Chain A
Amino acid sequence: MAEELSPADIIAESAGPKGAPPQPAANGDGADVFSPRLAGSKDMIVTEHVDKWFGDFQALDDVSLRIKEEEIVVILGPSGSGKSTYIRCLNRLEEHDAGRIVIDGIEMNEDVRALAAIRSEVGMVFQQFNLFPHLSVLSNITLGPQKVRHVPKLEAEALAMQLLERVGIPEQADKFPSQLSGGQQQRVAIARALAMQPKIMLFDEPTSALDPEMIKEVLDVMQELAESGMTMIVVTHEMGFAREVADRLVFFDEGALVEQGTPEHFFTNPREERTKLFLSQIL
């Protein structure tokens, strides 16, 4: 590589296992950067050369990314850059057209049982919450465990109350989603996803539909979750969260993975022009 090493490269390099070849810190060609705390963790998500087309529009263009167990990855990018499409491919809300996706050792393919196994390991939180409006908060959370994992009702309810406790709104258990504020709804959505006891949590712009005063309560829950050792992939524009919580930032543009690196790297010395432009617009 002819380029000069940036400070972030040096950080990443020094953090790598001793004797390992120096890793290029910020690139889009498939090599990944890991935080030192993840040394020795196994791969949780492996995507290789993933393509996704919507008709003539290429939403994902040769995306390769490896994510370690317990890693917190924040995906950045302008709207339409494919970041949501990417995480929606990870639980097959979208089917990828080419490449490989392996979740916790399970290959994503047409096999229905593999898909069921993947979905039970991957929880998802949506921008629009997507709570079930005809069910109470408690039933929203117990539905998955009862129907998919066949957990007895009382046990599922006890777990749901525990999770509501964890996201800070146990008193709302008997209400319906429409009676809750946006922030409370999103916290219920997080609890609903956690009730399936996933190993991976996907967040698709979880705070974008929230009023400003409610963003923090959701981010706090996500931060607590991150500290508990969950593997998380977060699409967000919350730069504070990205800087403080993420192990790695990934920048998408026009369906391609343009640049990735540590938060320090991104906020001090991004390499690609497109990244710089995006960050200058958003910060």
Chain B
Amino acid sequence: MSEQPPIPRPDQRPLPPAPGAGQRRIVLPPHRQRARRPRSVRVREWVRKNLFPSTAGTLLTLVAGAIMGAILVGVIVFVFFGANWEVITHNRWLLFAGGFPHEEAWRLWVSIAVVFALIGAAYGTWSSFGRRDHLFVLVVGGFVIFLMAHGGAAIWSTVYFLIAIGCMYLGYAATVWMPRETSTLRTLQQRIVGGLLAISLPIVLVILLVGGEVGPRHIDGFVLNLILAPVGIVGGVLLGIPLALGRASRMRSISLTCTAYIEIVRGAPLLGWLFVALFILDDVIGGDLIIRAMVVMAVFTGAYMAEYIRGALQALPRGQFEAAQAVGLTPTQSTRLIVMPQALRISIPPMVGQAISIWKDTTLVTVILPLRELKGNADSAIAQFEFTPDRIEAYVFVAVIFWIVAFAMSRISQRVERAQGVGER
């Protein structure tokens, strides 16, 4: 190239060398230059700007800090000094699986391992484990292991749990190591993992229930929550898709039927529908109470899911339908290939909200039906004479467990949204 020095432009004086930059003259734009100052200065500035910007701001910081500090101290004192966690550790099997026979416990562990492996595979396929995800696994895993190890006699449970976590990382590693350089291979991987995810619920039910001495009535404790909620959510989405399409249909009979379903189901609380399960469904479908509860959960969730999906259908630009028509797709193809994938993507956020809601509502089966899920078994635990004073511990524990799962669902949905590009066009 040219050996001549660069000609300074008349409108711009040559830039002065940055202090300490030596040979290479890298001049950052002003808003980046601040980042070059020493860390202590930056921290001090951040504190002043965000915590003590003005008299009112300072006051707010102090008041909020005092309140938060008091709460934190209270929590720490309660958790580490005040509480008697014996009620949890002593009743851990009751809380976890209740009446599930001990000798069939392997079914639970295998199920957990399968689900964990699939979660890992899904992360590997559509997202990746970040530092926060590892931290979440570490904290929650440590919490569970602490519970199980406390008081001994649960060495094998701990080992099984560690194996399950290992399966999650194995599933992750397997998908990450799988060759996926081309879009065809990526699609193949997504198809395989997606297909496995789609049939994971039946697989788990088969592992839990087929053969041996266990039946639906043995599903108990936290395991019951873990089964009821996915059945409700998956069943709800599967019901919601045809309901949404039906309500948007131009055929009056179909749209009226679907509208009636949605409005009637949404018109009564889940509590009310569980009464239906208890008193009426026995004559209609009979069977175990658990099966009836599952049906009610799915039917109830379906009405809400349908409305979220219908909203998404309306949000789709008309041009998408027209382009599908113009390309020559039949109405069925257009719905399956163009409309539904986009509508489901748009409705992920509200559907996850509903999923978290139904997850917490699984506790209602204890209120109405003589079914004992986690909260119901916590009630049983504190009904034991020696643990009656420890009801706060029991309920705090239950609350924390529910929070952990709800938070995990929220995190996973954020990952799904990002991977699917929700909000992008």
Contact = CB atoms under 8 A, between A and B. Distances in A.
A65 interface: no
Contact of A126 (B322, B337, B338, B341): B322
A130 B324 CA distance: 9
Q: What DSSP secondary structure best describes chain B's contact surface?
A: helix
A178 B425 CA distance: 5
Interface in B318-363: 319-320, 322-330, 333, 337-338, 341-342, 345
A148 B327 contact: yes
A120 B325 CA distance: 10
A134 B342 contact: yes
A144 B333 CA distance: 10
B326 A132 contact: no
B424 interface: yes
A93 B424 CA distance: 27
B30 interface: no
Interface residues of A, number: 28
Nearest to B182: A174
B327 A196 contact: yes
B213 to A, nearest CB: 47
B323 A131 contact: yes
A80 interface: no
Interface string A134-145: 101010000110
Given A147-B333, A178-B425, A93 B322 contact: yes
A147 B183 contact: no
A131 B424 CA distance: 13
A138 B184 CA distance: 11
Interface string B145-186: 000000000000000000000000000000000000001000
A144 B328 contact: yes
A116 B317 contact: no
Contacts of A178: 421, 424-425
Contacts of A123: 326
Interface band, chain B: 20 to 34
Max chain A CB contacts within 10 Å: which of B322, B323, B421? Answer: B323
Interface string B279-317: 000000000000000000000000000000000000001
A222 interface: no
Interface string A17-50: 0000000000000000000000000000000000
A14 B320 CA distance: 46
Nearest to A132: B338
B317 A130 contact: yes
A136 B183 contact: yes
A68 interface: no
Contact of A119 (B183, B326, B345, B420): B326
A118 to B, nearest CB: 9
A133 B342 contact: yes
A22 B184 CA distance: 60
